[in-house]
Amino acid sequence: MNRATRAAGAAFVGTTIEWYDFYVYATAAALLFDDLFFPNASSPTVALMASFATYAVGFFARPLGGIVFGHFGDRVGRKSALVVTLLMMGGATFAVGLLPTYASIGTLAPVLLVLLRFVQGLAVGGEWGGAALMAVEHAPPDKKTFYGGFAQLGNPAGALLATGAFSLMTLFGDDALHSWGWRAPFIVSAVLVLVGLLIRLRVEESPVFEETDKTGVPIKEVFRTSWRSVLLGIGTLPVAIGGYYILTTFLLSYATGPSVGETEQLILNGLSFAAFVELVATLGIAWMGDKFGGRKVAIWFLIGTAVLAVPQFAVLGTHNTFLIFLMLGVMRLATSGTYGPMAAILAEMFPPQVRYTGISLAYQGAGAIFGGLSPLAATALVGAYGGAAWPAVALLVAMCALSVLCLLVAPRHRDRVPAAPITTE
């Protein structure tokens, strides 16, 4: 197995585990945490918003994680940073599975939940940038988008495992799910982390990192030389990050709420199918990025996402399994095209010596703004308009427009140091 393939495989496995941990929390926040940790809220909507607020804490921690691990990754090494993030994420997720609920320890329960979510956010803040760079920087010059797609595969794979785990737990019934079943997906993550750690330890350091200047302070250099790239990087990601959570976390709570009335089992199964569609499609989309240009491909699919926003929400409430599955799958295909090429797109926006810090700030800043707030904003807007879906649709379309604009003007940077030769061992 050559270095590029091994790095891409490790990026896939590592990000799968990290995103599994992150999405297990997101699913539980949408379905259960309002009752388990905020039972005294003044209304169901307030309880759900409180649950989403704890979910958002992880996104607000992600830029800090990007700064800390970006510095570590730009100065000590991509590989070392990724080992630490994996252990942090796994430990926090396992601890959530053991956490007492509000009924057992009162207000201390949501406090501990927020603390563990913060640790999760720090870990993910450092994870994605390092995994994406390990894949892209090991890749041949004409295949960077394709190899970067392996880091992007971790998102749908993790989501598929997370929603699949909760779908399995719902088979035991609502009482079992609320009493003990919700804990199992969190606790099982410990086994996945051990597997990922063994794989990640076998990967060589990035050849581009080995040739870079390691003096200076990365965060200072980023804001001195690449602040525009950070802002435009954030602007390219509203749909790739925030749109995803509108169409998963928010959609799950909206579709199973009183305004629509679909069953949890149906929507969880539909989201599992959508995650499978993304898993299958991501590498094909990444290949298209190398052939036609990553930015051009992302813009095509952003337009498709905007067009599909209305029918996506229109089918909810029809109780037609085929239509719901079809739209969830087609929409996920569209959003996959906005996400799949992003590892390579963002990497080329920054020079190698500050690249880990730069892409982490852009990606995690977008996560804090669009990922953390999008489900909360969509919930508040839909609640303010009597349960109508059109505010969520309008929000998604506006995010598509911003993404297209920033992709059109974002800068490019070509490595002066070539990737390592592709040799087999």
Instruction: List, as one string, the DSSP characters of 311-371.
Output: HHHHTTTS--HHHHHHHHHHHHHHHHHHHTTHHHHHHTTS-GGGHHHHHHHHHHHHIIIII
Average pLDDT, stretch 399-420?
79
Spatial CA neighbour of 229 closest among 136, 357, 350, 68? 350
Average pLDDT, the chain: 86
Record the tokens describing residue 176, joined without a space. 């079992």
pLDDT digit string, tens, across residues 215-248: 677 888 888 888 999 999 999 999 998 998 899 8
> What local confidence, expressed as pLDDT, does residue 1 receive?
58
The residue with tokens 């490019």 is 412
pLDDT digit string, tens, across residues 250-286: 898 889 888 888 888 888 889 889 988 988 999 999 9
Kindly report the number of other CB atoms within 10 A of residue 328's CB atom.
26
Domains and CATH numbers, the chain: 3-409 (1.20.1250.20)
> What local confidence, expressed as pLDDT, does residue 248 receive?
87
pLDDT-derived band at 291 (thresholds 50, 70, 90) equals very high
> Could you give the percent of the chain with pLDDT greater than 70?
95
Instruction: Please name the residue ranges forming H helices in 1-42.
Output: 3-31, 33-37
| Contact yes or no for 222/413 (Cβ under 8 A) | no
pTM of the model: 0.79
pLDDT digit string, tens, across residues 104-122: 898 898 889 888 989 988 9
* Confidence check: pLDDT of 419 > 70: no
What is the torsional sign of CA 162, 163, 168, 172? positive
Higher per-residue pLDDT: 413 or 269? 269
> What local confidence, expressed as pLDDT, does residue 214 receive?
66
Three-state helix/strand/coil letters over 61-87: HHHHHHHHHHHHHHHCCHHHHHHHHHH
> What local confidence, expressed as pLDDT, does residue 57 receive?
82
> What local confidence, expressed as pLDDT, does residue 29 receive?
80
* Confidence check: pLDDT of 60 > 50: yes
Higher per-residue pLDDT: 318 or 213? 318
pLDDT digit string, tens, across residues 316-340: 888 899 999 999 999 999 999 999 8
For 414, the 3-state DSSP assignment is: coil
| Contact yes or no for 424/3 (Cβ under 8 A) | no
Average pLDDT, stretch 140-148?
89
Record the tokens describing residue 159, joined without a space. 């989501």
Position 48: which residue type?
L
Task: Mention every residue, 6+ apart, whose C-beta is less than 8 A from residue 174.
Answer: none
| Contact yes or no for 252/27 (Cβ under 8 A) | yes
Higher per-residue pLDDT: 400 or 55? 400
- The rounded distance, in Å, linking the Cα atoms of 290 and 143 is 6
What is the chain's Cα-based Rg?
Answer: 20
